[in-house]
Chain A
Amino acid sequence: MMIAKALAEEVLACAMGGGADFVELYGEITRNNRLSMVDGKIDRATDDLISGVGIRAFLGTKTVFASTSDTTRDGLLKCARAVAAAMGEMRTVERIVLTERMFPNIHPARVIPSSVDAKARADILRAGCFAAKEYDPAISQVSGVLMGVDHTILVANTEGLYTTDRHIRTRMAVSSVASEGGVNQSGFDGPGAGMGLEFFDTVDPAAIGREASRSAMVNLKADYCPAGTMTVAIENGFGGVIFHEACGHSLEATSVSIGASQMAGKLGQQIANPKVTAIDDGTIPGAWGSVNIDDEGTPTQRNVLIENGILKNYMIDRLGSRRMGMPMTGSARRQNYGYEATSRMTNTFIANGPDQNEDIIASMEYGLYCRKMGGGSVNPLTGAFNFSVAEGYIVRDGKICEPVRGASLVGTGSEILQNIDMVGQNLERAQGMCGSASGSVPTDVGQPLIRVSSITVGGR
């Protein structure tokens, strides 16, 4: 245990001394290891140990937060005193009594990445990068990374909670560049999971490399995407980034609770086409965005956000819960001890719908089929979003035709939710890192094939 119970009690009592009504202590030890490969050679191997605590005090909806990488007793007490001093007048506090609590581990990992020799991990990365290079002679450059995260947290608070959790993550990403006649095009694949290195028993590293190169080769043969407003079909997996950006961020208490979201005050309203049901589920075993407990010690859960187009719930952390008068949803997350936890997504996806995938493409007279999406961003206030299409094709007379590159999709969340007028049945999730107020956290996005009746396609 990184911080003994008695010390945690002392630190919490000290931080309560400024008149707070609640204090939370978050401790973290994270071992990150990372190998990178480029040009057929392992060129970087790094290990990093993140170790520190964050202490946060609440008084109603006011918070004071301090963090430190000095985890000695003196360091912790200094941090606690800083919190108390910033909160207000000093007073004495009754003893805080903590009770140790264990939550079930529903994401067991077998092979801890940091315990495996770098040379053995390097072989996995090589398999992926070599397969990418061998895919086609036009593949001019391949780079890849293999990352392992071993993340142990401790959460103690003045409600008496004292608990820990350990979470292992593994991810490999390969980027391929295809070149011809002075033109470069790129492709990417980067699956990961809340698993140890046994992840590669379920995913072939070479398949990751081949997928990155396949996509680069498609783009090399593609012309620029025409611009304009059109019907768009978006494939499963990372296509779910559209929901993550266009709607997910606007459902986080961070923006909803202060009225800075287009979705504030809309519970029970029809905000999407009735074919749309969307879920944030932090309990999917071994998933990239899953955790047993959130970073405030609340067990994660399956939150139905939108059901048949009707807004059912938000993603709510402790501060959001206080501001909104609604229960916490196990959605509090932070990159590390230096950030205050706030409401974030875990594994967020649109559920399977009523339409056959073939019918979706067949229904399109002219439009764009987005087989792979890149990243995107959104303004939660207006819902204005943008995201890039990593692999796209023109659809003509119900058939997928020539590939096009350089496209992006722009619009607003409320609009696109109403315009998702067909939802297919091949739900799949894909992995990403989501950056927001509390730093960068692993999240899954997902959906089946969907059709958006009308959206602005940026191209030229």
Chain B
Amino acid sequence: MLFEQMKQALITAAERAGLAQYEIYYQVGESVSADTLKDEISSFSSGVSGGICFRCIVNGKMGYASGELMTEEAMAELVEKAVSNAECIDSDDEVFIFEGSPAYAKREAVELKLTDPATVRDNALRLQRDTYAQSDKVTDGTQSSVMSSVTEIRLYNSNGLELSNRVGVSCAVAQAIVRDGEEAQEGAEFAEGEDYECLKELPAKAVREAMEKMGAETVETGKYDVVFDGKQFRQFLSAFSSVFSAKNAQLGLSLLAGKEGEVVAAPFVTVTDDPMRTGCPMQTPFDGEGVATGRRAVIENGVLKTLLYDLTTAKKAGVASTGNGQKGGYSSPVAIAPYSFSIEAGDASLDELLEKIGDGIYITECKGFHAGSDAVTGDFSIESAGFRVRNGKRAEPIKSFTVAGNFFDLLKEIDTLGNEVRWGMPWGFTVFGSPDVLVRSMSVAGK
């Protein structure tokens, strides 16, 4: 097959260049998706993409080159470019071509395959039909999308390490637009699964979300007790996940640097990274360097237990790699990132959380983290929408306000956790999850 052929071409070129330490990383994915508008499939796509990355150590420095063109000449060029790139590195970080871990976890025995195109279309059309059927206020612009992807990963290195994995996800989004007079609102719901059975609740949820936002006003500026929907709170973990990277800590870019063993969160908060989470389609037994991954608590009962390490940062810190040296795509350099990363659930239901704050805000939408958060400082100021909470119950909808604070304070100020972790959509090998979260006295800017 193609990978074997390209591997041989790279090995030959590497030997000719006198390289003793090198690695070949191959990642090729296939995807299919359908989008609808009104009652038709408006767009149907399929794609094959991916390539090969060659990296090698020259005089103690690591150089990379990658490409999608699978020819022998292209492979020879990759080796040449990787060598020349290694020669311009002046970082003193020790770099490694890995020898292999003693054991690797086994994936769940689930056959991963691309959803067949007919099912993709049918599901999209059915979602669309069911979304329109929810209410006569559902209007054009409403879209349903169904997608499926499968990615194959192969890793080979000069120590003879050979690893392979397949990951894939099938999922759907219903995005409802409802109109009432001049006002239009939108609601979107996402679910994983290939069978319509897994998707059938999306239309009602999306339309309900849009309808509930109707007539929202902004809220008075002030301090409020806040309940975050887990779907929103997990965005905080995503936006600030880089503070758990040992690389950022070693560079002085994370305020968690040197805090292993210290209290960094409320005493009942546990944050876990779980590469082989049951049911997760992106189960990953090895990282981008070939190191075995493993489940671990990053924060346990409020105490920072470990940061996330790759081989280079682990060596510097005198610890073992945690298997978090990921390659996001075939061309990405190794970078530290989590897998299934979540705050573990507590035991309060949403009703109990709202009851507990009595008077406050229930946040069901947070947007613009890429602009409104700074992982170096921990500061955030996030556009939000949701509902006022009065007498312990959800009251009128509110919008266009910001909630501001600092992530490191926020971890300590968590008051109560909800009883169910809500997982997001995988992005690369990473997916974030969080239960609903109650935080007291947050700064809210509205009118």
Also in contact, A52 and B68, with CB within 8 A (given A66-B46, A227-B402, A386-B372) = yes
Q: Are A41 and B91 interface neighbours, CB within 8 A?
A: yes
Q: Are A46 and B331 interface neighbours, CB within 8 A?
A: yes
Could you say which residues of chain B place their CB within 8 Å of the CB of A183?
377
Q: Assess whether B44 is interfacial by the CB under 8 Å rule.
A: yes
Q: Are B43 and A42 interface neighbours, CB within 8 A?
A: no
CB-defined interface of B365-409 with A at 8 Å, one 1/0 digit per residue? 001101110101101011101000000000000011111110000
Also in contact, A45 and B88, with CB within 8 A (given A377-B368, A386-B383) = yes
Q: Assess whether B65 is interfacial by the CB under 8 Å rule.
A: yes
Could you say which residues of chain A place their CB within 8 Å of the CB of B65?
46-48
- In the complex, identify which listed stretch (A114-122, A194-202, A418-426) lies at the interface while the others stay far away: A114-122
Also in contact, A119 and B445, with CB within 8 A (given A374-B371, A386-B371, A406-B379) = no
Q: Assess whether A457 is interfacial by the CB under 8 Å rule.
A: yes
Which of A47, A82, A177, A262 has its CB near the most chain B CB atoms (within 10 A)?
A47
Which of B84, B331, B383 has its CB near the most chain A CB atoms (within 10 A)?
B383
- In the complex, identify which listed stretch (B189-197, B249-257, B349-357) lies at the interface while the others stay far away: B249-257
CB-defined interface of B276-311 with A at 8 Å, one 1/0 digit per residue? 000000000000000000000000000000000000
Could you say which residues of chain B place their CB within 8 Å of the CB of A412?
400
Least CB distance from A19 to B in Å reads 14
Also in contact, A49 and B66, with CB within 8 A (given A118-B87, A227-B221, A227-B404) = yes
Q: Are A377 and B84 interface neighbours, CB within 8 A?
A: no
Least CB distance from A142 to B in Å reads 10
Q: Are A47 and B140 interface neighbours, CB within 8 A?
A: no
Could you say which residues of chain A place their CB within 8 Å of the CB of B221?
227-229
Residue of A nearest to B444 (CB): A227
Could you say which residues of chain B place their CB within 8 Å of the CB of A177?
252-253, 376
Could you say which residues of chain A place their CB within 8 Å of the CB of B140?
258-259
CB-defined interface of B74-100 with A at 8 Å, one 1/0 digit per residue? 100100011011111111110000000
Also in contact, A458 and B69, with CB within 8 A (given A44-B333, A47-B81, A49-B74) = no
Q: Assess whether B23 is interfacial by the CB under 8 Å rule.
A: no
- In the complex, identify which listed stretch (B48-56, B198-206, B426-434) lies at the interface while the others stay far away: B48-56
Of B40, B42, B184, B371, which is within 8 A of A377 by CB? B371
Q: Are B402 and A338 interface neighbours, CB within 8 A?
A: no
Also in contact, A386 and B402, with CB within 8 A (given A47-B65, A460-B443) = yes
Least CB distance from A71 to B in Å reads 7
Of A45, A69, A340, A411, which is within 8 A of B64 by CB? A45
**B side interface size, CB within 8 A:** 78
- In the complex, identify which listed stretch (A57-65, A151-159, A272-280) lies at the interface while the others stay far away: A57-65
Q: Are A410 and B66 interface neighbours, CB within 8 A?
A: no
Q: Are A340 and B45 interface neighbours, CB within 8 A?
A: yes
CB-defined interface of A121-135 with B at 8 Å, one 1/0 digit per residue? 110000000000000
Q: Assess whether B417 is interfacial by the CB under 8 Å rule.
A: no
Q: Assess whether A304 is interfacial by the CB under 8 Å rule.
A: no
Of B41, B47, B368, which is within 8 A of A387 by CB? B368
In the bound complex, CA of A338 to CA of B445 (Å): 41
Chain A interface extent, by class: 35 or more
Could you say which residues of chain B place their CB within 8 Å of the CB of A407?
381
In the bound complex, CA of A46 to CA of B84 (Å): 10
Q: Are B371 and A387 interface neighbours, CB within 8 A?
A: yes
CB-defined interface of A374-406 with B at 8 Å, one 1/0 digit per residue? 111101011011111000000000000000011
Could you say which residues of chain B place their CB within 8 Å of the CB of A43?
89, 91, 93
Q: Which of A176-231 contact B (CB under 8 A)?
A: 177, 179, 182-186, 227-229
Q: Assess whether A408 is interfacial by the CB under 8 Å rule.
A: yes
Q: Assess whether B273 is interfacial by the CB under 8 Å rule.
A: no
Could you say which residues of chain B place their CB within 8 Å of the CB of A65?
43-46
Which positions in B face A, CB cutoff 8 Å? 28, 37, 40-51, 63-70, 74, 77, 81-82, 84-93, 117, 139-141, 143, 177, 184-186, 218, 221, 251-253, 255, 331, 333, 367-368, 370-372, 374, 376-377, 379, 381-383, 385, 399-405, 443-447
Q: Could you write out 17 A-B pairs with CB less than 8 Å apart?
A: A42-B91, A46-B331, A47-B67, A47-B85, A52-B49, A65-B45, A69-B49, A118-B85, A179-B252, A185-B376, A186-B376, A259-B141, A260-B186, A379-B186, A387-B368, A456-B402, A458-B445
Which positions in A face B, CB cutoff 8 Å? 32, 35, 38-39, 41-52, 54, 61-71, 82, 86, 117-119, 121-122, 140-141, 143, 177, 179, 182-186, 227-229, 255, 258-260, 262, 338, 340, 374-377, 379, 381-382, 384-388, 405-408, 410-412, 456-460
